[in-house]
Structures are given as C-alpha cells and as structure tokens.
Amino acid sequence: MDYPTIRLMPKAEARAIRHGFPWVYSDELVMDRRTRALAPGSLAVLEDTERRPLGLAAVNPLSRIVARVIDRDPEAEIDTAWFAARIGQASRLRERLYQQPFYRLVHAEADGLPGVVIDRFGDTAVVQPNAAWAELRLEALVEALRQVTGVGTVVKNGSGRVRGLEGLAEETLVLTGALEGPVPVPMNGATYMADLTGGQKTGLFYDQRPNHAFAAGLAQGARVLDVFAHVGGFALAALAAGAESALAVDGSEPALALAEAGARASGLDARFATRKGDAFDTLAALDAESAQFDLVICDPPAFAPSKKALDAGLRAYERVARLAATLVAPGGYLVLCSCSHAADLAKFRAASARGIGKAGRRGPIVYTGFAGPDHPVLPQLAESGYLKALAFRLTE
C-alpha cells in the first residue's frame, strides 16, 4: 500500500510505541504542512526520528490524539478482511467467557480497534465509531461484524464527548435490520431492558456485571438503595439474589421506566420501587426522612472525565460517599463506583474514605472490583482500565 508518512518529534518516546502504547499526541508529531493537510481518518506510516517505520497509524490533525497505531505492519490493508480478523479474535474471547451473546464484543484499543466500541445484544450489535478512521470505514467494519457474528441488526451510536473531540457529528441510527423497542438482556439472574437508540451509551453498562454480582451476594434479605441506577443495574441483580426490597434513584425518567420494565420482566416488581430526582438532593432527603438501608450502591457518571476535571471530580466522589454513608444501617455495606479514568484507584479510594469519615462512619474495604473480562485492559494504556468499585462494611 502506498501510504504517506508521518514522523515523531525528537522528544517523543518511540520506545513506548514499539512496546505497545497506541497513541501519539499532537505535540509529539512533526506537524508540518503536509501532515496538517491529511484528512481526518487518513492512514499513514508512522516513523521514528530515524525514519524507521513503527507501524500503520490513523491520523486526525484535528484531535489531540493526532495518531492511533492500528497495525504493526506498515503495509497492512485496512479492508473488510482486516476488520473481520480483529472482530473474530475479540469474538472468540467472549464466546469462551459467556454462554449467551450479551457482552462488550470490542473494547477499542484493547481489542486492536482504536476508538471503536461494539456491544452485542443477542441478534443486535451497537457500534460506536468514536474515531475518524473508523467512521470513514464504517461500511467495511459493519460488513465484517455481520460476517463474523451473524447479527441481523446493527445500530450506529454516534454520540458522546469522545466523538466531539474527534470532530465528528452526533448521529444514532439503525444501519441494518430492524429494531422494535427496548431489547431484553439476561444478566445476573435478572432481565434488563436496553434502549439501543435512545438510552445512555450503547443502552446498557456491561462493564459493571461482576460488581453487580458481588453486591447481589450481599443482598439476601437486605433493604437496598441503588443511586444513579440507570436501568436498575445493581437493584435488579440484588432483588434476583433475594433482597427484601430495592429503591432505584435516577434523574432520568426514561431510564427509571426501563428499570421498572426490567423488574416486571424479571418478576421482581413487587419488591421494586423508583424515585426520580437529583442524586445528591435525594440522598439528603432520604437522610432527612431517617431512611436506612442494609446495602447502598452509588454508581455515578464520570465526575472526572479528564485531568483538568480531577480535583472537582474527587470532591464530588467524596460528597457522594459522605451523603450515602449516613443511610447505611450499622453493619451494612456501601458500594461506591467510579468510571473516571483520570481518577485512579488510589485517588478514588482516598476520596471515598474521606467522605465516609466526614459522615462519622468507619469500616474496612471488603471488595475492590473492576470491569468484567469483556472489557480487557491494554496494559500500556491506563485509560482502558477506567472502572473501579469499592465495597465498605460500615462497622461504626
């Protein structure tokens, strides 16, 4: 293939690229007139300062991540067969892990498809092409996806902050097949209802599956509070495991309607209730009502989506912990989650402990959880290991 070339700046760390780091930032690349003229999503051979090839990269001069290494072979042809090989490798892993086809099928860089997320919901797949190179080659990607998995319906979810950083417009539509209403998803003994075109992200958060399962193990006979509940992730799993009752709190009425539909589909609706409202306000209101729960879970959105937002995000996590800790009955459990990659485990744990302490509570951490194995972590890329969950037993 006759690709143009791009070159690292002398200060850039070529060794990191050789060892598997997939990104090149805009201040690490020679941004001459020729490189700036490359169209977003173009492919180019990435070279070190000695003009030795490091691999084939997707280029976007509009993005801070100006190049993403997509293949170690600088002459690779990025066609349907190439996508099928990557998707096939990802699919074989998931088929070993799960008995039913409900999982994250492709987790971006960790599965060799930088900026691409694919979640599978039985016969339907939702694709998030969050990088310009994938957007340009979406037809080949979708054809490969159908060849490998046999799915009949493919949805493009072109929404979210990351696409904006790549200069891509928002667009969500059904590319192939047909979709009629929310899709039922069996997980952890419950049935969840996923809105694949109008819900958050791809419609369901598969990453929390193992943390749902752990929390459900604490829920036998318990009164459960699930805050930032979305479609009832923690609450429905807890009820399926024998919780006495579960209250789901979220600011989104459509999300709570899906949670209620999931409870009905699971036969759990008699023990399930919802409360719409701002999470912080609702936590304070429940405290004023002297409400007590044996298990409280808080799974907020990313309060620290970037390093710039880190300090404010950590304060928000601390506040959540403080408000939630007051609602935990003596000897009960508090599960706190963060999906902010900028807040690493140590910082998140410290913020959570501060909040619990400010509430006048104490107790050990009995569990530290992460995303499930369908969300593999690229060891060279810390951002791919974004999810943390901590379970505290509040003994005081």
Q: Is 339 assigned a catalytic role? A: yes
Q: How many C-beta atoms lie closer than 10 Å to residue 308's C-beta?
A: 10
SS3 of the chain: CCCCEEEECCCCCHHHHHCCCCEEEHHHECCCHHHHCCCCCEEEEEECCCCCEEEEEEECCCCCEEEEEEECCCCCCCCHHHHHHHHHHHHHHHHHHCCCCEEEEEEHHHHCCCCEEEEEECCEEEEEECCHHHHHCHHHHHHHHHHHHCCCEEEEEECCHHHHHCCCCCEEEEEECCCCCCEEEEECCEEEEECCCCCCCCCCCHHHHHHHHHHHHCCCCCEEEEECCCCCHHHHHHHHCCCCEEEEEECCHHHHHHHHHHHHHHCCHHHEEEEECCHHHHHHHHHHCCCCEEEEEECCCCCCCCHHHHHHHHHHHHHHHHHHHCCEEEEEEEEEEECCCCCCHHHHHHHHHHHHHHCCCCCCEEEEECCCCCCCCCCCCHHHCCCEEEEEECCC
Q: Which of 118, 235, 335, 339 is catalytic?
A: 339
Please state, in angstroms and rounded to a whole number, the distance separating the CA atoms of residues 268 and 109.
Answer: 38
CA trace torsion 355, 360, 365, 367 (10° rounding): -70
Q: Please list the active-site residues.
A: 339
